[in-house]
Amino acid sequence: MSLIRPFEATDILRFHAVNADPWTATYHNGYYASYVAQWPSLCYSVQGAYDDEVRAYMIAKDEPAPPDPQHHGHLTALSISPPYRGLGLARVFMAMLERLSSDGSAGWPPQARDGTDCVDAYFVDLFVRCNNHRAIDMYEKLGYSVYRRVVDYYNGMEGVGSTRDELDGLDMRKSMPKDVDGSYVRANGREVLVSPEEVWA
Ligand SMILES: CC(C)(COP(=O)(O)OP(=O)(O)OC[C@H]1O[C@@H](n2cnc3c(N)ncnc32)[C@H](O)[C@@H]1OP(=O)(O)O)[C@@H](O)C(=O)NCCC(=O)NCCS
C-alpha cells in the first residue's frame, strides 16, 4: 500500500531510496524547491503507507507560457524505487501528467475530466538517456515517440559514461488533443540529430 500525494520541498530529505538509483540524477536543493514553488500541481510523490519515506516521485512543468505555440508539459524527473517498480506507478504518474497537460480529456483519472486544473498544452515531452532501454521501452508503450536525438545532452553530468549512447539523449514526445494534426511529433526522429544549444534556443 502506498499514497500518491503532492511533492513537498522537504521530500528531498526522504527520497534517498529513490535517488540511490544510477539512472536517477540528484540536483541541488533549490532545483526541487523551484518546482514546488512554480508547478506544484505537476509534481507528486509516492509515500509508503507505514512510514514517511518517499518511494517514487515525478517532477514536471509546463512551458513556455501560453499562448506560445510551443507550450508543452515537460517531464523533468520520474523515478520509482526498485521495490516499487512493476506496479504501474510510472504509468499512473504519466497519465496524471498527460491529463494536467491536456484539456483534461487525456490521461487519468477519468472522474476528473472537466479540465479546470489542466493547462491545455500541445504536447508532453521528456529527455532520456539513449542507453536507458527500460525507460525508452516504457515510454514507447505509453505512446511517446522520438522527436530528435540531442548529441552530448548528458555530457558533463556526474555518473554518465563516455559512449555515444550514454552521452546522448532522446527527446521523446506525445501529442495532446490540442495538437489536432500531429504537427508536434515526427516519424523519423531517431535520425534527426541536434545539439543541446538548438534545444535551448
Ligand atoms: C523506468 C521506470 C520509471 C518504470 O517504472 P515502473 O513503475 O516500474 O513502470 P510501470 O510499472 O508503471 O510500467 C509502465 C509500463 O512500462 C512497462 N515497463 C516497465 N518496466 C519495463 C521494462 N523493464 N521493460 C519494458 N517495459 C517496461 C510496463 O510493462 C508497463 O506497461 P504495461 O502496463 O503495458 O505492462 C523505473 O524502472 C525507474 O524508476 N527507473 C529508474 C529511473 C528512470 O530510468 N527514470 C526514467 C528517466 S527519463
Q: Which of 4, 54, 85 maximizes ligand 1 atoms within 8 Å of its Cβ, making it the mutation to test the pocket?
A: 85
| pLDDT band (50, 70, 90) for residue 158 | confident
Residue 108 has pLDDT above 90, yes or no: no
Q: Is the CB of 190 within 6 Å of ligand 1? A: no
Q: Which of 70-74, 147-151, 156-160 has the lowest mean pLDDT?
A: 156-160
CA 198 to chain centre: 20
Q: Look up the CATH number of domain 2-200.
A: 3.40.630.30
How much is the pLDDT for 112? 61
Q: Is the CB of 82 within 6 Å of ligand 1? A: no
Q: Which of 38-47, 51-60, 65-74, 157-166 has the lowest mean pLDDT?
A: 157-166
- How far apart (Å, rounded) are the C-alpha atoms in residues 176 and 167? 29
Tell the residue nearest (CA) to atom 42 of ligand 1. 79
| pLDDT tens digits along 49-58 | 888 999 999 9
Specify the DSSP element, H or E, that contains 148.
strand 145-150
> Mean pLDDT, to the nearest integer, of 27-46?
97
Percent of the chain at pLDDT > 70 equals 98
> Mean pLDDT, to the nearest integer, of 10-27?
94
Q: Is the CB of 90 within 6 Å of ligand 1? A: yes
Residue 160 has pLDDT above 80, yes or no: yes
Q: Is the CB of 91 within 6 Å of ligand 1? A: yes
**CB proximity list for 94: less than 8 A, separation 6 or greater:** 58, 75, 78, 107, 142
Q: Is the CB of 60 within 6 Å of ligand 1? A: no
Residue 151 has phi, psi (to 5 degrees) of -70, 130
